[in-house]
Amino acid sequence: MADQGFFGRTAGRRRGAALVLTGLLLAGSLLTGGCADAPRPDTIGHDVQRTLDARAAAVLRHDEAGYLAALDPSARQLKAAARAEFANLAEVPLSSWEYRLTGVRRSGVRATADIELRYRLDGYDPSPVTAERRLELAERNGRWYVTADRPGRGGGQQLWEQGDIEAVRGTHSLVLGVGQEPARLRRIASDADRSVPAVSAAWGGAWAGRVVVVVPASLDAMGRLLGAPAAQYRGIAAVTTGSATAPDRGGGPAPADRVTVNPEAYEVLGDLGRRVVLTHETAHVATRAHTSAATPLWLSEGFADWAAYRGTGRDPRQAAPELRRAVLRGDLPAALPTDADFRFGGDARALGRAYEGGRLACELIADRWGEERLRAFYRTVGASGARDGAVESALDEVLGTSPERFTADWREYLGERLE
């Protein structure tokens, strides 16, 4: 700006022009010298993202060489693992695959990058599944190469890291399994197909109407997928993973969920048990867009269990054995289950009482106020911005009752249904 102002004051004068030219030449020499001494901007973020973009494009066009090109040529073990993972993805129907760089730290020719892997399964995921990854990189001849690729902090493995994926498509389901016989995966797809219309009838609202089921090779493999100790899921036949969000008000697609089956626990179930388990988990998929941090677990788990048992004709005294034992010995719960009561890995009987208590609370609402009010209550609670006051407000607005009155009614209902 100083050079432009000097030029403006001397323009149109011959003698001034010579001074201007001299000034510009002097300024140019100073600027040139300054540029030579200034540090070159670090473009590592752009360079790493470019490498990741090329790798993502290679996945979608089934280009193994392009996928491996992002890896350090000297990292033979990493390259062998990546080649196997690429082959394991062959049957997975991908509609999108991308990496988003969220942070990078450089130390000379080495760097660590935090990224988000985002992908969608064609025809099943309304929005991308997101997995956090951490990469180690090295710079060689002006280019950044990946030297290590692992889950981000607290994250789990991806299914394709565990082995060759077998894909089975059902009418309403996609089952992805590793280390499983195709006949077993087809049976699970059939179970999942039955769960979808059952959930649609229970939920009564719009949802995708399809479910993705993941079947790892073992309980230990399940733990690695979920990034948690396998013992935490012992005896748990299936879990649903997804992001609890504020309700979708038309501003975007619902989250993508995965139902992960524990092959060891699921295998010992009878037909009704498998039906109940997958209907329960599918109900979580259907209600996810209306489940938020304001939704207590007694409501989300209770509704899913209510949907799973709805229409089975199962007597509550059979379907709620743990809670019935407590009622018969005079140990009637004083309050609805807390979120802590649903913690995996603790007392199995206490966990059973929590699920049964939540289900019977939802059953009470459906019986006394009607199923449509139960659905409206669920949506109203989820629409609240915070946990504080959400249930209290919905009880008043939708059911015309108070927390104290509802708890008393629930305790009375337990006695009626379980004695």
Q: What's this model's pTM, rounded to 2 decimal places? A: 0.85
Strands 211-215 and 258-261: parallel
Name residue 176's beta-bridge partners.
Answer: 167, 214
What's the distance, Cα to Cα, between the start and end of the chain in Å?
88
User: Residue 301 carries which side chain, given as an amino acid letter?
Assistant: E
In tens, the pLDDT along 314-357 reads 988 999 999 999 999 999 999 999 999 998 877 889 999 999 99
* Alpha carbon separation from 262 to 151, 214, 354 (Å, rounded): 21, 9, 21
Tally Cβ neighbours within 10 Å of residue 30. Answer: 10
Name residue 71's beta-bridge partners.
Answer: 146
Phi, psi of 144 (to 5 degrees): -95, 130
Assess whether pLDDT exceeds 50 at residue 17: no
Alpha helices (H) along 61-155: 64-68, 76-88
pLDDT of residue 153: 85
Residue 34, Cβ density class (10 Å: 0-12 exposed, 13-18 middle, ≥19 buried): exposed
In tens, the pLDDT along 137-182 reads 999 998 999 999 999 987 899 999 999 999 999 999 999 999 999 9
pLDDT of residue 36: 46
